[in-house]
Amino acid sequence: MRLRTEQRHDDLVETAFSLDDVPGILWTPTIPAAATTPSPLVLLGHPGDLSRMHPRLLARARSCVAAGFAAATLELPGTGERPRHPDADRARADLRRAVRAGEPVPDVVVDRLVLPLVEQAAPEWRAALDALLARPDLRGPVAWSGGIISLGVRMAVVEPRIAAAVLFAGSYVPRAIVEEARTVTVPLLVLLQWDDEGNDRQQALGLFEALGSREKTLHANTGGHTGVPAFEGDDAARFFTRHLRPAPEVSGQPTSLGDRPVTRRNTSANAPGLR
């Protein structure tokens, strides 16, 4: 891992790095955790293009650091300063044409757009995790947060260091990933924007049903793709704290909701959110 730049903010340190020419960013507390105890790590997913997504990623990283975690992200294949993937660009154009026409998006289009990205990105994120956890100020367990839900599902399946995941139901999902979701076992918090015009709600609900985790929670809020309520950030922080910094068990007293799937639909006003 090659460090590129370091920028100090009041509340965190932002370190840009590259790993085999893949750009990434690490956010850590201003006081090095190694001086006290290493920080658990949250991997921040996103839809692509770190430069465009930086303000939102920085806000999410600040929430993580405030809760006692470090955060990191990696540029996706075919986005940002990485070489374009022409077939993915064509598939994206085909998807947008179908959505604009009010037509179903063909499975083959979703597969062309999503599956090659997942196949390339998951090993890159795992390699980044190897490099990041070699630092003395970072440690496992690790959590996944947001981004392309198919990549989040794949990482939850193949990466044993991921102990919990927050997934954003805001993108089309190949049928192969839905089948893969049945093998997910880590605790999950899934966020769904009920009125997301670019998301197939029934497909998102079907994916939630397919997820194999015994502990999974669905938070559904009214509003569009970027209208995730601000309070969901607080819920996500509590979720990460519960699974990355588990409280000591009290004999005879449950410490969580256990193994029951939980759903909640909220109809309060939306605020700038987490995407």
What is the domain extent for residue 16?
2-83+121-266
50-81: pLDDT as tens digits: 999 999 999 999 999 999 999 999 999 999 99
Mean of pLDDT values over 213-227: 88
Report the alpha-carbon distance of residue 139 to residue 142 in Å, rounded: 8
Please give the pLDDT value at position 170.
Answer: 78
**110 found inside a domain:** no
Residue type, 130: D
Count of structural domains within the chain = 1
Q: State whether the Cα torsion 253-256-260-266 is positive or negative.
A: positive
- List, for residues 74-125, the tens digit of each pLDDT value: 999 999 999 999 999 999 999 999 989 989 999 999 999 999 999 999 999 9
Q: What is the pLDDT of residue 267?
A: 37
b vs e for 142-171, b when ≥16 Cβ sit within 10 Å of the residue's Cβ? bbbbbbbbbbbbbbbbebebbbbbbbbbbb
CATH code, domain with 244:
3.40.50.1820
100 within domain boundaries: no
Q: What's the mean pLDDT in 202-215?
A: 95
CA 214, distance to chain mean position in Å, is 19
Q: Is 160 or 265 the better-scoring residue by pLDDT?
A: 160
Is position 92 within any domain?
no
Dmax (CA) of the chain: 58
Say how far apart CA 176 and CA 115 lie, in whole Å: 9
Which residues are CB-neighbours of 165 under 8 A, at least 6 positions away?
143, 144, 145, 152, 155, 156, 186, 187, 188, 189
pLDDT at position 82, please?
Answer: 95
Domain-located, residue 104? no
pLDDT at 268: 36
Interatomic CA distance for residues 108 and 96, integer angstroms:
14
**Is residue 115 domain-resident?**
no
Evaluate whether residue 103 is within a structural domain.
no
pLDDT of residue 227: 75
Alpha-carbon span 104 to 85, nearest angstrom: 24
Condensed to tens digits (0 to 9), the pLDDT of residues 8-35 reads 998 999 999 999 999 999 999 987 655 5
102 in any annotated domain: no
pLDDT band at 230 (very low <50, low <70, confident <90, very high): confident
In a domain? residue 112: no
